[in-house]
Amino acid sequence: MPTPASPSASASSSHRRASSDLMVRIGSADSEIKLRALRELKNQIIGNRTKKLFFLKLGAVPAVSCALAEAQAQAQADLLVQSAAALGSFACGFDAGVRAVLDSGAFSNLIALLSFPDDKVVDAGARSLRMIYQSKLAPKYDFLQEKNMEFLLSLLNSENETVTGLGASIIIHSCETVVEQKALCHAGVLKKLTSLLEGSPSQKDASLESLATIIKKNPEAASKFVSESRRALSSVIDLSKDRNPRTRLLACMCLIVIRNTSPYYLQEIGIKTKLVYLLLELLDDPGQVGEEASFAFSSLLAQKEDLQKLAFEANAIDKLHNHLQKHLLQPRRYQGILLALAELCSKLESCRSRFFYLEVLNLVADALTHEVADVRTAACICLRSVSRSIKSLSAGCFMKEMIVIPLVRLLHDPSTSVQVAALGAVSNIVVDFTTAKSTFLQCGGLKLLVQLSKSMDPILRLNALWGLRNLMFLADKTCKKGIFFELTAPSLSSLICDPEPSVQEQALALVRNLVDGCLDSIEYVFAEDGIILDAIGRQLQSTSKAEIGIQGMYVLSNIASGNEFHKEAVMHQLLLHVNNGTQAFILKFLQSNDSQLRTATIWTIINLTFPSSPGASSRVVKLRNAGIVSQIKTMVNDPCVDVKLRVRTALGQFMTIGDGST
């Protein structure tokens, strides 16, 4: 056997020579030579990504585009077909190619081919345009212009299947807003698409996908589709039994869109069960259909406990587990299965138990280190979902090196979406009710969380704080100390004043868990001259968001459960703004519409005026002078039972202490 090195080296240089010779021939004035060269180029690049890139760099796209324009001027059908096909292949599944074709200005020439008298030319043009419209880079089609809508309708009404397919691709690519959906409905596109459901297999598929695009999240379009023709919905249901798996999948997706959009259609148990079984069966398809089926399955189950239960009864966990065990999973399929498992385990404990029973966790742990970012993200989302199980958290199922080490590593993943998903999983796992939080600390998880809480990206800051907050939940003294020293008082106070309200809320919730429990932990908010407490007071005074008020008031309430010094510090914050003309936040909160905020505020007052504490009576006097006692008196019949109960406790305490000062 000869060594491969030497012949291939000379081969690739001869290959390069041949390629540049081909480029010369494409530019030839002899149309016979040009035609053969175009066909040769087309045959080299079809199906071959490497060759597409290679010729792209050689400048083939502008050359072909130029040949197309010339052939158009002279109406040479053969040249038109070959050059359009070559451009279409450059654009097929290859974004750099789409960009090059668009930059070369070929787009309008391709559109012009659609009105050419020769059917083969029309076909070639429509096919290439469809390739372009399958990419996100395609120019957005403006349906709101009248002449554009007319043109689209003319495409959909064409006798040529490729041309109707192009019309559908344009809708799928460019219809995004409700206004666009309405414009399409108004122009009668739904009716046209409904009639295409009876067309050829490719027309059925195109129509199903377009219908889903127009109906998605638009209840008006959904009811128009269903009511316009009695057969419309039943045709889609029939197509879910089609022989072609792709058609079955698209029909399912269309039905899911309709039922997720409108609460009136397809809510019967029969159709729900049917969709679950159909999609589970489609998962077995070895190709793209199988990949996409898992995503459709997720959208069917999303937020719907009844469907998750049906899926559980249909052994969905076992089926997904079987798929996950397969050798050499394609990344897209891998991702889809993990996300489907995540959705399935998002609410029901029965699903999670089955998940643990089958030891799916080990397979998900493997996915955490997959080379493709989307797979890693999906694995994290799945972990987050199963770690909602308090039972398994208590059993310490997640605080194992197999999970924690790769998960912590993902906290500094190059992809932000992986980081965010990993933080989501970490947040749940660190809640851990056993003593195993140390596993997380030992492998450097805390340092990374703190580092991410200072990220420039607000979503990362938010999720990192969420993790820290949960890590702090019921943590022991050493753990709290460790977190606090890593995080430090100054950065905690600046997080409380973060520009993002959601970050502020998490920071306050973190402090709430920090000062929860023993007296010692309350001392943390007094570190460095009490900058944390000051920040809280400032934030409570300025915020208009109830969620922030709630977390902040529970912090104060926890502090107020401490010793006299602690209570006085809270009083100071409460009364700071009473005399400077603005309304004190405590009064604002007591009058809030949010009952949880009212409850949190009353709790603080209760803790401050606990009768056995020495300074209670002087604090009641101060509260009365600030108008707070009289405000509380007006709340004895609060519509919220919880508030009403706490108000009575507070009033009882005021009575015990005595209205002595009056």
Partner 1 sequence: MSLFWIVIRQLAEIEAMATSKKVITKEEWEKKLKDVKIRKEDMNKLVMNFLVTEGYVDAAEKFRLESGTEPDIDLATITDRMAVKKAVQSGNVEDAIEKVNDLNPEILDTNPQLFFHLQQQRLIELIRNGKVEEALEFAQEELAPRGEENQSFLEELEKTVALLAFEDVSNCPVGELLDISQRLKTASEVNAAILTSQSHEKDPKLPSLLKMLIWAQNQLDEKAAYPRINDLSTAKLEDPAV
Task: Return residues touching partner 1 (CB under 8 A).
Answer: 1-2, 4, 7-8, 11-12, 15, 39, 42-43, 46-50, 85, 88-89, 92-93, 127, 131, 161, 200-202, 243, 287, 328, 330
Say how far apart CA 88 and CA 81 lie, in whole Å.
10
Say how far apart CA 601 and CA 616 lie, in whole Å.
17
Length of the chain: 662
- Minimal distance, residue 89 CB to partner 1, in Å: 6
Q: Helix 501-514 crosses helix 527-542 at what angle (to 10 degrees)?
A: 130
Nearer to partner 1, 93 or 458 (CB): 93
- Minimal distance, residue 355 CB to partner 1, in Å: 27
- Minimal distance, residue 11 CB to partner 1, in Å: 4
Question: In this structure, what token pair is assigned to residue 407?
Answer: 């998960």
Say how far apart CA 257 and CA 249 lie, in whole Å.
12
- Minimal distance, residue 15 CB to partner 1, in Å: 7
Nearer to partner 1, 78 or 523 (CB): 78
Nearer to partner 1, 116 or 398 (CB): 116
Question: Is residue 334 within 8 Å of 342, Cβ to Cβ?
Answer: no
φ/ψ bin of 188: left (φ > 0), alpha (ψ from -120 to 50), beta (otherwise): left
3-state SS string over 236-269? Answer: HHHHCCCCCHHHHHHHHHHHHHHHHHCCCCCCCH
Nearer to partner 1, 323 or 567 (CB): 323
Nearer to partner 1, 127 or 480 (CB): 127
- Minimal distance, residue 42 CB to partner 1, in Å: 6
Q: Enumerate residues 6+ apart whose C-beta is below 8 A from 139.
A: 102, 107
Closest CA to 527 of 485, 482, 471, 469: 485
Say how far apart CA 123 and CA 227 lie, in whole Å.
35
- Find where tokens 């080490």 sit: 405
Nearer to partner 1, 2 or 270 (CB): 2
Nearer to partner 1, 97 or 537 (CB): 97
Q: Enumerate residues 6+ apart whose C-beta is below 8 A from 300.
A: 252, 256, 275, 276, 279, 307
Nearer to partner 1, 180 or 205 (CB): 205
Question: Is residue 336 within 8 Å of 295, Cβ to Cβ?
Answer: yes
How far is CA 607 from its chain centroid? 41
Helix (H, G, I), strand (E, B) or coil at 662: coil
For residue 352, CA distances in Å to 307, 336, 343, 358, 622 come to 15, 18, 11, 10, 53
- Minimal distance, residue 292 CB to partner 1, in Å: 14
- Minimal distance, residue 71 CB to partner 1, in Å: 17
- Minimal distance, residue 7 CB to partner 1, in Å: 5
Nearer to partner 1, 46 or 112 (CB): 46
> What residue spans of 325-475 are helical by DSSP H?
331-344, 349-357, 360-367, 373-386, 390-394, 401-410, 416-429, 437-442, 445-452, 458-472
How far is CA 518 from its chain centroid? 39
- Minimal distance, residue 78 CB to partner 1, in Å: 11
- Say what the alpha-carbon torsion angle 119, 122, 127, 131 is, to the nearest 10 degrees: 180
For residue 290, CA distances in Å to 72, 238, 284 come to 42, 20, 6
Nearer to partner 1, 287 or 490 (CB): 287
Nearer to partner 1, 43 or 491 (CB): 43
- Minimal distance, residue 56 CB to partner 1, in Å: 15
- Minimal distance, residue 92 CB to partner 1, in Å: 4
| DSSP assignment letter at 201 | H
- Minimal distance, residue 232 CB to partner 1, in Å: 22
Nearer to partner 1, 73 or 328 (CB): 328
- Minimal distance, residue 537 CB to partner 1, in Å: 59
Q: Enumerate residues 6+ apart whose C-beta is below 8 A from 389.
A: 345, 349, 352, 353, 356, 397
Percent composition of the chain: helix, strand, coil (DSSP 3-state, to 5): 75, 0, 25
Nearer to partner 1, 15 or 241 (CB): 15
Nearer to partner 1, 93 or 105 (CB): 93
- Minimal distance, residue 2 CB to partner 1, in Å: 6
Closest CA to 377 of 331, 313, 318: 331
